[in-house]
Amino acid sequence: MKRFLTAIFIVISLVMAFAEDGVYPDKVVIGSFQALSGPYAVIGQGMTKGMKAYFNWINEQGGIYGRKIKLIVVDDQLNPSKTVVEVKRLVEEDKVFAIVGGLGTYGCLAVMDYLNNKGVPFVYQGSGSSKLSQPPKKYVFPVQPDYLLEGQLIGKFLVETKGIRSIGIIYMNNDVGKEGLTGVQKRLSKYGISPKVEIPYNPLETDYSSLALQVLDKNPKAVVIYGFITDTLRWIKTLKDYGYDGLIVTIYPNADPAFVKLGGKYVEGVVVTGWVPIPSKDNPEYTKDYQKFVEIYQKSYPDEIPSSYAVAGFIAAEVFTEALRRAGKDPTREKLVEALESFKHWNGIMAKDITYGPGQRRGKSTMYFIKIENGIFVPITGLMGLE
């Protein structure tokens, strides 16, 4: 009887030791939502591959404290109503430890409060919405710079680095564009400057000719375009065909090889923001890191050139894994939060300069600027912050 009670006690102790959802003696189970099908599948599939490549590499080394990381990815097709259903299933049925690397602003915002209220860590969102970090939420940890920060840094770059005070802003008439507009306006106001022209537009429109004439009428020396690849290229082509020869600056979602390939000669000289450094002869240390990333990626996907979306997924996996390591041998969600809050300018392989803290959820507060020269992205500044 005594032996029986001892055995029961041991079993109960083991259960209690691993009572945290998603944490088992041999694995940690996490979830993610991605567009794996539909019109945005190329983004979701790329991001998923980046996460899987990193986790595969970690698992090959024995995992974290002997636990492998198991990733469950659900397909929400970038539809926020589907995101809600799928994330609730991950949390309530699959009992995941955390959500890592969700894709899409509206899906991320749709589940943000649910996850925070449930006490489920939400690490890395494929979104630049400042609503993810402002106000800070205990369990929500953005990594990408938000568009409000980016807009302020663009304003700083144009005025302080380039000495340009005549600036126009072209922005998508949605949350992304409006956040960017607010950011640029906020920074320009510090210099006593107002934008020379502000043009909202519908990204679904195919002809920007009449709007372009309004820009040319004011003829600012620099134009900031808050748009994504397709509509930004349409704007650039229209402006340049109409004779605009000022500086054009656009945002980090356009820092992708597809932007250069599709834009051709039209994007020569265009400046793009960036938050993930790119390999170059002037940055041998980062070039070494990038080569390491490609090596890890191609262990899972041989001979495949990773996309910028794969880089995003890789960074999401890096940040979570480092936090899991810091959380110790018996991880809990609370310990994961404490671990993330211990990040101070942390660098991984591709993740660079990540900082959190109590009440601080803007993981990335610095960006740099790159210029397209001869079809190649060339860094023209180092990392810049608001100060």
Domain boundaries, the chain: 2-145+286-340, 147-274+368-379
Q: What is the b/e burial string over 172-211, where b = at least 16 CB atoms within 10 angstroms of the residue's CB?
A: beebbbbbbbbbbbebbeeeebebbbbbebebeeeebeeb
Torsional sign, CA 67, 69, 72, 78: positive
Going from the C-alpha of 16 to that of each of 9, 10, 13, 30, 155, the distances in angstroms are: 10, 10, 5, 20, 53
The tens-digit pLDDT sequence of the chain (387 residues) is 555 444 444 444 444 444 799 999 999 999 999 999 998 899 999 999 999 999 999 999 999 999 999 999 999 999 999 999 999 999 999 999 999 999 999 999 999 999 999 999 999 999 999 999 999 999 999 999 999 999 999 999 999 999 999 999 999 999 999 999 999 999 999 999 999 999 999 998 999 999 999 999 999 999 999 999 999 999 999 999 999 999 999 999 999 888 999 999 999 999 999 998 888 777 788 899 999 999 999 999 999 999 889 999 999 999 999 999 999 999 999 999 999 999 999 999 999 999 999 999 999 999 999 999 999 999 999 999 998
Q: Assign domain 2-145+286-340 to a CATH class.
A: alpha beta
d(CA 371, CA 29): 41
pTM summary value: 0.89
Pair 53, 297: CB distance under 8 Å: yes
Which residues, 6+ apart, have CB-to-CB distance to 125 below 8 Å? 101, 102, 103, 108, 132, 140, 142, 143, 144
CATH hierarchy code of domain 147-274+368-379 = 3.40.50.2300
Do 2-145+286-340 and 147-274+368-379 share a fold?
Answer: yes
| Nearest by Cα to 91 from 32, 4, 18, 159 | 32
